Structure 1
Amino acid sequence: MKDVQNCPKCGKIFVKALRPICQQCFQEQEKNYETVSRFMRRKQNRMASIREVHEKTEVPITQIHQFVREGRLLVTHFPNLGYPCESCETIITEGRICATCTSNIKSGLDKIDKEKEFEQRKDEERRKERSAGATYHSLNDRFDKK
């Protein structure tokens, strides 16, 4: 059976095949892309920011971000376009998170790894101390000496 879902944009039921949205929303999205693309192709608009593109074309900012994220609007041609970092909302031009958030995540993971290594060394030292200090005496030895 086909994958039947509700469109996340309009809520209509549709058969999800190639796209995550219904045909009507897809056509609207493509119309918006054409509007933005046409606007950005004009030489005087190539340095426009996301806000300016939104104001002039009336295309939602989130959709413009989506076009940049998908690579449909190339930041090499339009350097003032970008989309927000998924963590801190800083405008970026590639990836999902900015360099600052990436380094924060890496340093956090490094800290966790170091803490785990420290705990493992501590456990190892405790085991060595226990095994070195473990002495067993037999009751028979005590009674035999008397």
Structure 2
Amino acid sequence: MGELKNCPSCGEFFNYTGLREVCNNCAMNEEKLYETVYRFLRKRENRAATVERIVEATGVEESLLHKWVRKNRLQPAMFPNLGYPCDNCGKITQSGKLCIKCSDELKSGLRQFDAAKEFREKVSQQETGTYYSDSKKK
């Protein structure tokens, strides 16, 4: 059973089941817009169009194009200039939630954190070590 939500596009109530983020009317309108964009991109001369060019030619909102690329309805392999913004910096990326630069920075930070954690563990093990003294002095 779904829950009652407001459609982010039109504000109407709809039964949210997890399949769509919008109501049925807005979903049908989005599908019509998708068909318009797909017909535009199927023409050979438009396959390398940028997001800005597609918005200009079709009148579709940029956020819808990003949504379709993110959901793989419009695949960057077929249309190389399409992408969506990185969740961290906003730079256009074609896969994942983060661009390559942000992903590399995150991985570097995690490696530094792991190295610092290992260092702290070694120090704490050394501090709790047992020391023996030599009772036989010459």
Same fold flag (TM > 0.5): yes
Structure 1 length-normalised TM: 0.83
Task: Report what 1:132 is aligned to.
Answer: 131
Listed one character per residue, the Cα deviations across residues 92-116 of structure 1 (whole Å, up to 9, x for unaligned) are: 1112111111111111011111111
Listed one character per residue, the Cα deviations across residues 20-73 of structure 1 (whole Å, up to 9, x for unaligned) are: 210111111111101111111112211111000001111010111111111111
Matched residues in 2 for 1:112 and 1:86: separation? Answer: 22
Task: Report what 2:104 is aligned to.
Answer: 103
Structure 1: any 5+ residue segments left out of the alignment?
A: 135-146
Structure 2: any 5+ residue segments left out of the alignment?
A: 134-138
Task: Report what 1:144 is aligned to.
Answer: none
Deviation larger for 91-100 or 46-55: 91-100
1:9 deviation in Å?
A: 2.1
TM-aligned CA distance change 1:107 to 1:2, over 3 Å: closer
2:131 match: secondary structure: helix
**1:20-35 → structure 2 map (5 Å cutoff):** 20-35=21-36
Report the number of matched residues: 132
Matched residues in 2 for 1:52 and 1:58: separation? Answer: 10
1:2 deviation in Å?
A: 3.9
Match of 1:81, as an amino acid?
A: L
Listed one character per residue, the Cα deviations across residues 106-131 of structure 1 (whole Å, up to 9, x for unaligned) are: 11011111111111111111111xx3
Task: Report what 2:16 is aligned to.
Answer: 16
Match of 1:53, as an amino acid?
A: I
1:133 deviation in Å?
A: 6.8
Matched residues in 2 for 1:90 and 1:124: separation? Answer: 44
- The root-mean-square deviation of aligned C-alpha atoms, in Å, is 1.6
Matched residues in 1 for 2:96 and 2:2: separation? Answer: 32
